[in-house]
A and B are shown apart, each in its own frame.
Chain A
Amino acid sequence: MKSNEWPLWEVFIRSKQGLNHKHVGSLRAPDAEMALQNARDVYTRRSEGISIWVVQSALIVASDPTEADALFEPADSKVYRHPTFYDLPDGIEHM
């Protein structure tokens, strides 16, 4: 970041009660309060949300895409975690 640039914020919106906040984009703002106000104007001009989170982008810790294969391999190799893995006799319902 250049010294005269405001920090970057990631914006998350809850579109309606009962749903989780979802990442919608980012913006620059000098502080959290302005980030919230700007997020309102930039990302909710058409009633897209009822709640906003803003998080400074610099605070986000992300996994490395080049290591994604190794990171997620344990999940890929455990097919027995899915219900479709199991053989059931014909005629079984509600299971």
Chain B
Amino acid sequence: METMTLEKLAENFQAKIDADIKIEPNDWMPDNYRKTLIRQISQHAHSEIVGMLPEGNWITRAPSLRRKAVLLAKVQDEAGHGLYLYSATETLGVSREDTIDDLHQGKVKYSSIFNYPTLTWADMGAVGWLVDGAAIMNQVALCRTSYGPYARAMVKICKEESFHQRQGYEIMTNLMNGTALQKEMAQDALNRFWWPALMMFGPSDAESKHTEQSMRWRVKRYTNDELRQAFVDATVPQAELIGLTVPDPKLQWNEERGHYDFGDIDWDEFWQVVGGNGPCNKERIEARVKAKEDGAWVREAATAFAEKRKMRENQ
């Protein structure tokens, strides 16, 4: 094969993207495409893993065996999703352990939502309904992303996550059919999680430094603001149906646009939490580091056992 110039390779690459042909691990890709994907997919993986913590917090205190089994299954799914995504990251030529250490050393981020505490049982409802709802909105769009391994992981994840949102909404619905105190608890959870859920879509399009290039590469198929609007439009009627009030005085249906108008997001809060100063940032990373350190002997023992068995088989 003739050696292609970098320019020609880049041109062929973009032509494939424009024709909606997926990029696979061994295909040529621009360095920045690779870097963008490593950043995005590893952040996504970390979000799944750190996302186990706020819900793990309630497994032992779930109010019934049914709720406990459901929450366990959901948290186990998040672990699985993290693993699919770490595998996808590895196809780009980075080591899994380095990726995880980058998280532990604060070099890479995860979804800011998981830096908020889960204070009451109703938060399990709000997290499933809103946080998984927002994640699904984002992930359904990513099923068509241009990198093959990422797109395939997203298809699996979306299939599995549809129950996550439903179980959360079911918790909220049950609370809203309950006593005054239970209703108050559900409303309080919505009040605390509504704005952070909207922030999950990331900075506004005007502020997002990655969006334009990511759209050209079809890593992203919709902008942050488009997805945020779709989430608001889908979620507000769900809140109203069970008697919850969305904590936004500016929220109003706009007949002309065919969308809800909503109030301004507190971007200072967003950047504070992303920057490491949210209510639980420190605690989350500490928990992950501890899990890795405390599990080290198990990994070492498994390696030693595998080596010992191999030696015996070879004798």
Q: Is the CB of A65 within 8 A of B27?
A: yes
For residue B184, CB closer than 8 A to chain A, the reply is no
* Chain B residues in 8 Å Cβ range of A46: 160
A31 to B311, CA, bound (A): 13
A67 to B28, CA, bound (A): 12
Determine, out of B53-61, B80-88, B128-136, B245-253, the stretch whose residues face the partner at the interface. B80-88
A28 to B116, CA, bound (A): 31
- A5-B96, A5-B97, A25-B87 are known contacts. Are A34 and B306 too (CB-CB below 8 A)? yes
A28 to B303, CA, bound (A): 12
B276-315 residues with Cβ-Cβ distance < 8 A to A are: 299, 302-303, 305-306, 309-310
Minimal beta-carbon separation of A71 from chain B (angstroms): 11
Q: Is the CB of A65 within 8 A of B24?
A: yes
- A2-B95, A42-B80, A45-B77 are known contacts. Are A31 and B90 too (CB-CB below 8 A)? no
A-B residue pair count with CB separations less than 8 angstroms:
55
For residue B76, CB closer than 8 A to chain A, the reply is yes
Q: Is the CB of A4 within 8 A of B97?
A: yes
- A8-B90, A30-B303, A65-B26 are known contacts. Are A45 and B76 too (CB-CB below 8 A)? yes
A46 to B87, CA, bound (A): 20
B68-123 residues with Cβ-Cβ distance < 8 A to A are: 73, 76-77, 80, 83-84, 87, 90, 95-98
Q: Is the CB of A5 within 8 A of B302?
A: no
Q: Is the CB of A5 within 8 A of B310?
A: no
For residue B206, CB closer than 8 A to chain A, the reply is no
For residue B19, CB closer than 8 A to chain A, the reply is no
Q: How many residues of A contact B (CB 8 A)?
A: 23
A6 to B309, CA, bound (A): 15
- Interface digits, A59-86 against B, CB 8 Å rule (1 contact, 0 not)? 0001011110010000000000000000
A6 to B24, CA, bound (A): 24
A64 to B25, CA, bound (A): 11
* Chain B residues in 8 Å Cβ range of A30: 299, 302-303, 305-306
Residue of B nearest to A4 (CB): B97
Minimal beta-carbon separation of B94 from chain A (angstroms): 11
* Chain B residues in 8 Å Cβ range of A67: 1
Q: Is the CB of B77 within 8 A of A31?
A: no
Q: Is the CB of B27 within 8 A of A27?
A: no
Candidates A2, A8, A42, A65; contact of B97 at CB < 8 Å: A2
- Interface digits, A1-21 against B, CB 8 Å rule (1 contact, 0 not)? 110111010000000000000
Q: List 18 A-B contacts (CB under 8 A).
A: A2-B95, A4-B97, A6-B303, A25-B84, A25-B87, A25-B152, A25-B156, A26-B90, A30-B306, A31-B305, A31-B310, A34-B302, A41-B76, A45-B73, A45-B80, A64-B26, A65-B24, A70-B1
**Could you tell me which B residues sit within 8 Å of A by CB distance?**
1, 24, 26-28, 73, 76-77, 80, 83-84, 87, 90, 95-98, 152-153, 156, 160, 299, 302-303, 305-306, 309-310
